[in-house]
Amino acid sequence: MGVATVLYHLANPVPAILVPSLSPGFFTAPPCTDRTIRLQLRLRFRQKKLQVSAAKKPFPDVQTENQESGDSSLLSRGEDGKSAGVGWLPSFPHVLVASMSNFLFGYHIGVMNGPIVSIARELGFEGNAILEGLVVSIFIAGAFIGSISCGSIVDRLGCRRTFQIDTIPLVLGAIISAQAHSLDEILLGRFLVGLGIGVNTVLVPIYISEVAPTRYRGSLGTLCQIGTCLGIITSLSLAIPSQDDPHWWRTMLYIASVPGVVLSLGMQYAVDSPRWLCKVGRLDDAKAVIRNLWGSSEVDRAIEEFQSVIKNDGTDLESKWSELLEEPHFRVACIGGALFVLQQFAGINGVLYFSSLTFQDVGITSDALASLLIGLTNFGGALCALYLMDKQGRKTLLIGSYMGMAISMFLAVYAINFPPDEEIGHTLSILGTVLYIFTFAIGAGPATGLIIPELSSNRTRGKIMGFSFSVHWVCNFLVGLFFLEIVKKFGVGTVYAGFGGVSLLSAIFAYYYIVETKGRSLEEIEISLNANFKVRDNDDS
């Protein structure tokens, strides 16, 4: 997901994280089978196809190879070949409540954009760029810690309780920030909010991927991006009175506590992940959730897959960080980290930062209005992703999105460095900026956070997501910290050309190293990609 925190000036540096290089041998096809004759027969023919395909490509394309073998998804289709679930509607309220976390995320991204000057003046650090940056960077520091800690919490408590516990720092941090009368208080409030946001950015994709029906997992997963966009738009809209009222920022921060309370109450009526319920031995509860959300015909098949994967992974409730150094978890963690490195260094935050300056060239002098237009563009792209994610697939959208971003950046570079005339140059700059934001929102934004939990194993999903998002926050901070200095040294055109180059590199990476997960259950993906999946014959069960 894209983060617009670079709208503020960042201060303190954070050490870079080195992500291990990727080798072309990732996810070579395993000789996988399962403990029952039925699953064994379903997977046996596909196994041969995967082995042949693995010799041709670094990654087996799960969706394509299953189509070639004539096999149908174990969870997305029933015995008659038609959709066995009852559609997206039963799971939608639960996903919608979880997406309230992303609304909060977007709201806190935009809430400081306008009022930061009023806050600095009232709290006595006006004109001190370092302290103004610290107010923002402390949020990212909290988010980094929250992301790292989320995996262990969700392993033990499950998504539902973790959501509710996480609303405590979100609500408390918003209230402390709203009534702050000193720099220390606003820093404490922002840190607590960042801590809660860090947990939620990891938690929401995990929750949606585990409760959504396979057929609609991609579309429902885009609600993360939509929620973030709506939060940004809301905060920017509410910030307009801050230009006339120097104390309006307190009201905005008090408002930020309301969605946290709604989230906590809503999660009281939401279901927990059926995979986690099965993992902790609450089999009847898991069956009830599957029956209510996916349909009665899915119960036996889903439970059978859950138990097969759990037996292979082990019975320990919580995974260890050291397991990320083992295969295949190490490879997925590298992919997750690499995806976020590429996403951030493709320049989303830098383009958002300069968007207001670009709009000023054509007469839109209000920063709030310019940011609002960008937010609406981002929202429009997210709506397109909602429609396309389960039709075109994650891999296709990632490649197309990054190619569109590259073209947009090169168009902007042409407008900046080689404009035919001033008016055409301004028009092309606006077109390149809007097109960049739109294409980002279609694929690079929502698909990145969606595909990582899909590729992760049931056992290490929380840890891998925590690591991936911690890389996200570090890269986000570094871009915000050094962006202006690099622009001053090399110029906007050169920097935008670099963003276009990284976007092209990201498209190439997605083509060679991303597995298409559309229409596959999480368990089927794990079995297909795990070369260490233990063989259990029917006699051993």
DSSP string, 318-356: S--GGGGGSTTHHHHHHHHHHHHHHHHHTTHHHHHHHHH
Residue 218 to residue 209: CA distance in whole angstroms: 8
Residue 178 to residue 112: CA distance in whole angstroms: 12
Characterize 418-437 residue by residue with b for buried, 16 or more Cβ atoms within 10 angstroms of its Cβ, and e for exposed.
eeeeeeebbebbbebbbbbb
- Give me the torsion for CA of 143, 145, 147, 151, rounded to 10°: -160
Residues 6+ apart with CB under 8 A from 508: none
Q: Distance of CA 120 to CAs 7, 116, 181, 193, 487, Å? A: 16, 6, 11, 19, 26
How many other C-beta atoms lie within 10 A of the C-beta of residue 268? 10
pLDDT by residue for the chain (541 residues), tens digit each?
554 443 433 333 333 333 333 333 344 333 343 443 344 434 433 443 333 333 334 344 444 334 333 333 333 343 333 344 448 889 999 999 999 999 999 998 888 776 777 888 888 888 787 887 788 788 999 999 999 999 889 988 999 999 999 999 999 999 999 999 999 999 999 999 999 999 999 999 999 999 999 999 999 999 999 999 999 889 888 887 877 788 888 999 999 999 999 999 999 999 999 999 998 889 999 999 999 999 888 899 999 988 888 887 765 667 788 888 888 889 999 999 999 999 999 998 888 777 766 676 656 666 667 777 888 899 999 999 999 999 999 999 999 999 999 999 999 999 888 888 877 888 888 899 899 999 999 999 999 999 999 999 888 899 999 999 999 999 988 888 888 888 889 988 899 999 999 999 999 999 999 989 998 889 888 888 776 655 443 334 3
Closest CA to 331 of 459, 510, 452, 462: 452
Q: Tell me the pTM.
A: 0.80
Residue 466 to residue 147: CA distance in whole angstroms: 5
Residue 290 to residue 21: CA distance in whole angstroms: 39
CA of residue 298 relative to chain centroid, distance: 28
Residue 530 to residue 387: CA distance in whole angstroms: 30
**Structure tokens, 171:** 């609500």
Beta-bridged to residue 83, according to DSSP, are 77
